[in-house]
Amino acid sequence: MGKRIAQQARGKGGPAWRARSFAYAGQSRLRSETQQLITGQITNFIKSAGHSAPLMEVKYQDGQTALLPAPEHVRQGNQITSGKGGEALPGNALYLSDIPEGTPIYNIEKQPGDGGKFCKTGGSTARLLSKTETHATIKLPSKKEKQINLKCRAIIGVIAGGGRLEKPLLKAGVRHHKKRSMNKNWPKPRAAAQNAVDHPYGNKRTSRKAKQKSTNKFAPPGRKVGKLWPRRTGRKK
C-alpha cells in the first residue's frame, strides 16, 4: 500500500499540519469604526505566539476592546484615539485623509473597514508620501509604492520589536518551536535525502543522479514532483 508524500498530507490540512491558532492571543485588527472620534486606554501588553510584534490591549470608552500591534514610545495607561479628526501621535488610528504627508504609519487598511492588512510585523513601518482627492500614495517597507483609498485607516508610528532579528536562535530546537507555532514548513530535506516511502526520489542506496526528473501532466498527485512537464531538460549545448 502506498503512502502519501508530505505535500499531499500538508494539502489535506490535518491537525499536524495546521497552525496552533487556538493558542494565539486573538486577532489583531482595528475596531469597526464610524466617523466619530473615540478615546481608549492601553490596559495591557501581550506576547502572542502568532505575532512577531507585541500586542497592546485597548479598552475604549464605549466598552469595546481591541488588540493592536504596539508602536514604539507608548506605555500602559496611555490614552489613544481612533476615528475622524484625531492627532497624529503614536498609537492613534486615523483616516489617511487626516494624516500629514511624511508621517510613519502601520497596520494600513487595504479596503475601508477591513481592520488593517499592510505593515503589521515587528519593527516595520510605511510612509505616507502624497495625497490626491481620492487616494494616498504609501511607500511600503519593500520600497514599493501603493495607491490606497483616503477612507482607509492606519495607525501612527513604528511597530515595536524591531530588534527581534538581532538575537540569534542558536539551536535548531528554538527554530523548530518558532516555525511550528506559525505552521511554517521547516525543516525541508531535499528529495534524495528522504526515505523511499516519503518521496519518489528517496532511497538509501544512492542519490540516483541519472534519474529522470520530468513528470507527466496526467500523473497522479503523489508522482507530480521534480520538473513538471518541462519543454526541455538538461544543459544547453
| Average pLDDT score over residue span 5-22 | 90
CATH dotted code for 26-161: 2.30.30.30
The reported pLDDT for the residue numbered 1 is: 59
- Report the half-sphere exposure of 35 (CA within 13 A, side-chain side): 2
Of 25-34, 48-57, 167-176, the least confident: 25-34
The closest alpha carbon to 57, from 82, 34, 26, belongs to 26
The one-character DSSP state at 231 is S
CA 97 centroid distance within chain: 26
Nearest to 107 by CA among 146, 73, 66, 155: 155
* pLDDT for position 40: 95
What is the sign of the dihedral through the CA atoms of 135, 71, 49 and 174?
positive
Mean local confidence (pLDDT), 147-156: 96
**DSSP letter, residue 216:** -
The DSSP secondary-structure symbol of 223 reads G
For residue 136, which of 107, 95, 106 has the smallest C-alpha distance? 95
Q: Is the dihedral of CA 216, 220, 223, 224 positive or negative?
A: positive
Asked whether 95 and 88 are in contact (CB, 8 A), the reply is no
Percent of the chain with pLDDT over 90: 67
Q: Where are the domains of the chain?
A: 26-161, 188-237
pLDDT band at 66 (very low <50, low <70, confident <90, very high): very high
In the predicted structure, residue 95 carries a pLDDT above the cut 90: yes
Over 90: is that where the pLDDT of 99 sits? yes
Q: Which residues pair with 59 in a beta bridge?
A: 41, 65
User: With contact defined as beta carbons under 8 Å apart, do 77 and 41 qualify?
Assistant: yes
Q: How many CA atoms lie within 13 A of 138 on its CB side?
A: 27
User: pLDDT (tens digit, 9 = 90+) per residue, 120-140?
Assistant: 999 999 999 999 999 999 999
What pTM, to 2 d.p., does this model score? 0.85
User: Which DSSP symbol is given to 111?
Assistant: S
pLDDT at 123: 94
Residue among 120, 115, 90 at smallest CA distance from 30? 115
Residue 33 in this model has a pLDDT that exceeds 80: no
Residue 187 has pLDDT above 80, yes or no: yes
Which has more confidence, 130 or 203? Answer: 130
pLDDT classification of 208: cutoffs 50, 70, 90: low
**Least confidently predicted of 2-16, 125-139, 206-220:** 206-220
Sequence-distant (6+) residues with CB within 8 A of 40 are: 58, 59, 60, 61, 66, 79, 80, 81, 82
Average pLDDT, integer, range 192-211: 80
Residue 164: is its pLDDT beyond 70?
yes
- 199 contacts: CB under 8 Å, gap ≥ 6: 5, 6, 191, 225
In the predicted model, is pLDDT for residue 55 greater than 90?
Answer: yes
- Say what the pLDDT of residue 70 is: 97
Would you give the end-to-end CA distance of the chain in angstroms?
43
> Which residue in this structure is represented by grid cell 500591534?
69
CATH 2.60.120.620 fits 188-237, yes or no: no
- Alpha helix stretches (DSSP H) within the chain: 6-12, 172-181
* Residue 44 φ/ψ, nearest 5 degrees: -165, 155
For residue 207, pLDDT over 70 is answered with no
Whether the predicted pLDDT of 192 surpasses 90: no
Res 193 pLDDT > 90: no
